[in-house]
Structure 1
Amino acid sequence: MSGATLGIDVGTFETKGVIVGSNGEVLAEARRRHRMIVPEPGWAEHDPEADWWGEFASISRELIAGCGLPASAIRAVGASGIGPCMLPVDAGGNPLMNAVLYGVDTRAHAEIAELTASIGPETLIERTGNALTSQSVGPKILWLKRHRPDIYAAADGFVNSTTFLVERLTGRRVLDHYSAGSVQPLYDVERQDWADDLMDGITTRERLPELLWTTEIAGHVTAAAAEATGLAVGTPVIAGTIDAASEAVSVGVLAPSRTMLMYGSTIFMIQVAAGRSADPRLWYAPWLFPGRHALMSGLATSGTLTHWFRDRFARELPPETAMGTLAAEAAASPPGARGLIVLPYFSGERTPLHDPHAKGMIFGLDLTHERSDVYRAVLEGIAYGVRHVVETYRGSGHPTSGLFAVGGGMKNPVWFQAVSDVSGEPQVLRRHSVGASFGNAFLAALAIGDVGESDIERWNPEVGRIEPKTELADLYGKGFATYRELYERTRDLMHARM
Structure 2
Amino acid sequence: MSSVDGGGDRYVVGVDYGTLSGRALVVRVRDGAEVGGAVHEYRHGVIESALPGGGPALPPDWALQDPEDYRDVLRHAVPAAVADAGVDPSLVIGIGTDFTACTVLPALADGTPLCEIPELRHRPHAWVKLWKHHAAQSHADRINALAHERGEPWLGRYGGKISAEWQFAKALQILEEDPEIYRRAERFIEAADWIVWQLTGEETRNVCTAGYKGIRQDGRYPSADYLGALNPGLADFVTKLDGPLLPLGDRAGSLSARAAAWTGLPAGIAVAVGNVDAHVTAAAARALEPGRLVAIMGTSTCHVLNGTHPADVPGMCGVVDGGISAGAWGYEAGQSGVGDIFGWFVRHAAPAGTDSHERLTELAAAQPVGAHGLVALDWWNGNRSLLVNHDLSGLIVGLTLATRPQDVYRALLESTAFGTRMIVEAFVSAGVPVTDLVAAGGLTSNRLLMQIYADVMNRPLSVIGSAQGPALGSAIHAAVAAGAYPTVREASAAMGRVDEGVYQPDPHNVRVYDALYAEYRALHDHFGRGADDVMLRLRAIRNAAVDAAVAQPDSVLEVVG
Give your verdict on TM over 0.5. Answer: yes
Letter of the structure 2 residue corresponding to residue 486 of structure 1: L
2:524 paired with 1:483: no
In structure 2, the partner of 1:204 is 237
CA distance in 1, matches of 2:491, 2:140: 42
Q: Deviations over 1:429-480 (max 9, x none)?
A: 2322311100010111122331352342332343342111121122111111
In structure 1, the partner of 2:257 is 223
In structure 1, the partner of 2:130 is 101
- The answer (yes or no) to whether the contact 2:284–2:497 under 8 Å persists in 1 is no
In structure 2, the partner of 1:74 is 92
CA distance in 1, matches of 2:367, 2:433: 32
2:476 paired with 1:435: no
2:505 paired with 1:468: yes
CA distance in 2, matches of 1:480, 1:338: 14
1:93-242 map, 5 Å: 93-95=111-113, 96=115, 97-102=126-131, 104-120=132-148, 123-126=151-154, 129-130=157-158, 131-185=161-215, 187=216, 189-191=217-219, 198-200=226-228, 201-202=233-234, 203-210=236-243, 211-242=245-276
SS in structure 2 at match of 1:253? coil
Moved more, 428-437 or 31-40: 31-40
Letter of the structure 1 residue corresponding to residue 437 of structure 2: L
Letter of the structure 2 residue corresponding to residue 29 of structure 1: G
Q: Deviations over 1:37-72 (max 9, x none)?
A: 33343232222211x221233111111222222222
SS in structure 1 at match of 2:483? coil
Letter of the structure 2 residue corresponding to residue 99 of structure 1: V
1:40-439 map, 5 Å: 40-50=59-69, 52-95=70-113, 96=115, 97-102=126-131, 104-120=132-148, 123-126=151-154, 129-130=157-158, 131-185=161-215, 187=216, 189-191=217-219, 198-200=226-228, 201-202=233-234, 203-210=236-243, 211-282=245-316, 283-286=318-321, 287-314=323-350, 316=352, 322-336=356-370, 338-439=372-473
CA distance in 1, matches of 2:328, 2:299: 27
Moved more, 485-494 or 290-299: 485-494
- The answer (yes or no) to whether the contact 1:129–1:278 under 8 Å persists in 2 is yes
Moved more, 380-389 or 227-236: 227-236
2:28 paired with 1:21: yes
2:526 paired with 1:492: no
Q: Deviations over 1:144-184 (max 9, x none)?
A: 11112232222121111211210111111222111101234
- The answer (yes or no) to whether the contact 2:109–2:187 under 8 Å persists in 1 is yes
The alpha-carbon deviation at position 255 of structure 1 amounts to 1.2
The alpha-carbon deviation at position 355 of structure 1 amounts to 1.9
CA distance in 1, matches of 2:275, 2:285: 16
- The answer (yes or no) to whether the contact 1:337–1:377 under 8 Å persists in 2 is no
Moved more, 289-298 or 173-182: 289-298
The alpha-carbon deviation at position 412 of structure 1 amounts to 1.1
Instruction: Tell me which stretches of 4 or more aligned residues in structure 1 moved more than 6 Å.
Output: none
Letter of the structure 1 residue corresponding to residue 373 of structure 2: G
The 1:238–1:455 alpha-carbon spacing in structure 2 relative to 1, beyond 3 Å, is closer
The 1:128–1:396 alpha-carbon spacing in structure 2 relative to 1, beyond 3 Å, is closer
- The answer (yes or no) to whether the contact 2:280–2:473 under 8 Å persists in 1 is yes
The 1:77–1:207 alpha-carbon spacing in structure 2 relative to 1, beyond 3 Å, is same
Number of residue equivalences: 492
Q: What is the TM-score when the length of structure 2 is the normalising length?
A: 0.83
The alpha-carbon deviation at position 33 of structure 1 amounts to 3.5
Q: Deviations over 1:375-403 (max 9, x none)?
A: 11110011111111111111111131111
Gaps of 5+ in 2: 1-7, 50-58, 116-125, 540-561
The 1:128–1:223 alpha-carbon spacing in structure 2 relative to 1, beyond 3 Å, is farther
- The answer (yes or no) to whether the contact 1:298–1:351 under 8 Å persists in 2 is yes
The 1:365–1:194 alpha-carbon spacing in structure 2 relative to 1, beyond 3 Å, is closer
| Aligned counterpart for 1:10 among listed residues 5, 17, 28 | 17
The alpha-carbon deviation at position 241 of structure 1 amounts to 0.7
In structure 2, the partner of 1:37 is 47
CA distance in 1, matches of 2:257, 2:431: 50
CA distance in 1, matches of 2:289, 2:149: 30
The alpha-carbon deviation at position 301 of structure 1 amounts to 0.5
CA distance in 1, matches of 2:225, 2:298: 36
CA distance in 2, matches of 1:469, 1:121: 47
CA distance in 2, matches of 1:380, 1:233: 48
Gaps of 5+ in 1: none
SS in structure 1 at match of 2:135? coil
CA distance in 2, matches of 1:284, 1:434: 25
Q: Deviations over 1:233-252 (max 9, x none)?
A: 11110112111111111101
The alpha-carbon deviation at position 297 of structure 1 amounts to 0.5
CA distance in 2, matches of 1:250, 1:136: 25
Letter of the structure 2 residue corresponding to residue 456 of structure 1: S
Q: What is the TM-score when the length of structure 1 is the normalising length?
A: 0.93
The 1:184–1:123 alpha-carbon spacing in structure 2 relative to 1, beyond 3 Å, is farther
Higher Rg:
2
Letter of the structure 2 residue corresponding to residue 2 of structure 1: D
SS in structure 2 at match of 1:218? strand
Letter of the structure 2 residue corresponding to residue 426 of structure 1: P
The 1:472–1:294 alpha-carbon spacing in structure 2 relative to 1, beyond 3 Å, is same
CA distance in 2, matches of 1:121, 1:281: 18
The alpha-carbon deviation at position 337 of structure 1 amounts to 5.2
Letter of the structure 1 residue corresponding to residue 14 of structure 2: G
The alpha-carbon deviation at position 128 of structure 1 amounts to 7.5
- The answer (yes or no) to whether the contact 1:159–1:209 under 8 Å persists in 2 is no
- The answer (yes or no) to whether the contact 1:134–1:350 under 8 Å persists in 2 is no
- The answer (yes or no) to whether the contact 2:295–2:439 under 8 Å persists in 1 is yes
Identity %: 25
Moved more, 148-157 or 220-229: 148-157
Moved more, 150-159 or 160-169: 150-159
